[in-house]
């Protein structure tokens, strides 16, 4: 029982083809509201074209929930090759402002200067979380720990040797692995501020 529930934690980008369908449906569960019908692997491309206007939202969804980006479009993931080709203008730009998705992807590109991953922050610099990319479960856990979009965080320390970072969020201190931290994009607050003295 214990092991069964716990084993469900694998990253979506590394789903084996046997689990593919389950994960694929799981991913799409979140988005199917938008199309009123379930998007399947076969008709995904058609849908993507039809929803050109909503493309930015879908790309947010794809990038955040399916963790698609340039380096993992292997054929054994949720047919990443098909989808990422369709979204190529967007998927080249990693950060996407999900809170401001009314902006098209070209415009989003301009915001890149402001959006940086946590690991690029300087020590004691404060910033606002704008966008989180990654495995669905990781995102849910980060949300539970208080890293929601619009939360103010500050970097306390970055461990040496490509180690994790220590951040402060909502009065608590968290250690985040390098990879997770590099997928959390923040917008710098205007001035540099020390957390404490």
Partner 1 sequence: MNEVADEPVNLTIALAGNSNVGKSVVFNELTGSNQIIGNWPGKTIERAEGKLHFEGRDITVIDLPGIYSFSTFSMEEIVSREYMANEKPDAVINVVDASVLERNLFFTLQLKEMEVPMVLCVNQVDVAKQKGIMIDTEKLQDMLGVPVVSAVAVRGEGLHELMEKTLDVAQKKPQVKVVPYGAEVEKRIKILTDIVESENLNLNYPSRWVSIKLLENDPEIEKMVGSRSESILDLVQSLAHEIEEIHNEPVFSVIASERYSLANQIVKNTQIQSETKLTFSEKLDMIFTHKVWGYVMAAIVVGGLLLWTFVVGSFFSGLLSNAFSFFQPTDPKVSGSMTAILWNGAFGGIVAGVTLVIPFVIPFYLMLSAIENSGVLTRVAFMLDSFMHKIGLHGKAIIPMILGYGCNVPAIDSTRILETKRERLLASFAITFTPCAARTIIILGLVAAFVNIWWALALYAVDLLVILVAGRMASKVVPGESTGLIMELSSFKVPSLTAMLKQTWARTKSLIYLVFPLYIIGSAGIQALYAMGVLEPVSNALAPLTVGWLGLPAFAGILLIFGVVRKEFTLLMLVTLVGTNFAAFLTPVQMIVLALFSMLFLPCISTIAILAREFGWKSTGYVSLANFAFALVIGGIAFRVLTPFF
Residue 171 in contact with partner 1, rule: CB under 8 A: yes
Residue 172 in contact with partner 1, rule: CB under 8 A: yes
- Beta-strand relationship, 152-158 and 172-176: unpaired
Residue 94 in contact with partner 1, rule: CB under 8 A: no
CA dihedral 160, 117, 84, 71 (to 10 degrees): -10
Shortest separation between residue 113's beta carbon and partner 1, angstroms: 21
Shortest separation between residue 156's beta carbon and partner 1, angstroms: 8
128 close to 152: Cβ distance less than 8 angstroms: yes
Q: Specify whether the backbone of 144 is left (phi greater than 0), alpha (psi in -120 to 50) or beta.
A: alpha
Distances (CA, A) of 81 to 77, 88, 156: 9, 10, 38
Answer for which of 41, 79, 149, 188 binds partner 1 (CB under 8 A) is 149
| Residues in contact with partner 1 by the rule CB under 8 A | 1-3, 5-7, 9-11, 14, 26, 29-30, 32-34, 57, 60-61, 64-65, 98-102, 135, 137-146, 148-151, 157, 159-164, 166, 170-180, 196-197
């Amino acid at each position: 029982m214990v092991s069964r529930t716990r084993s469900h934690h694998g990253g979506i980008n590394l789903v084996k083809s046997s689990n593919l369908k389950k994960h694929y449906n799981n991913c799409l569960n979140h988005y199917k509201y938008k199309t009123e019908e379930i998007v399947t692997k076969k008709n995904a491309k058609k849908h993507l074209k039809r929803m050109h206007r909503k493309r930015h939202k879908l790309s947010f969804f794809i990038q955040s929930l399916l963790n698609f980006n340039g380096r993992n479009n292997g054929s054994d993931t949720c047919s990443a090759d098909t989808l990422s080709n369709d979204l190529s203008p967007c998927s080249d730009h990693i950060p996407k402002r999900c809170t401001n998705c009314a902006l098209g992807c070209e415009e989003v590109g301009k915001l890149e200067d402001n959006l940086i991953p946590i690991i690029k922050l300087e020590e004691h610099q404060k910033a606002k979380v704008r966008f989180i990319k990654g495995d669905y479960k990781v995102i849910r856990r980060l949300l539970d720990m208080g890293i929601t979009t619009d939360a103010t965080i500050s970097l306390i320390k970055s461990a040496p040797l490509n180690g994790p970072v220590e951040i402060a969020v909502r009065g608590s201190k968290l250690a985040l692995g390098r990879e997770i931290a590099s997928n959390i994009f923040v917008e710098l607050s205007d001035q540099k501020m020390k957390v404490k003295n």
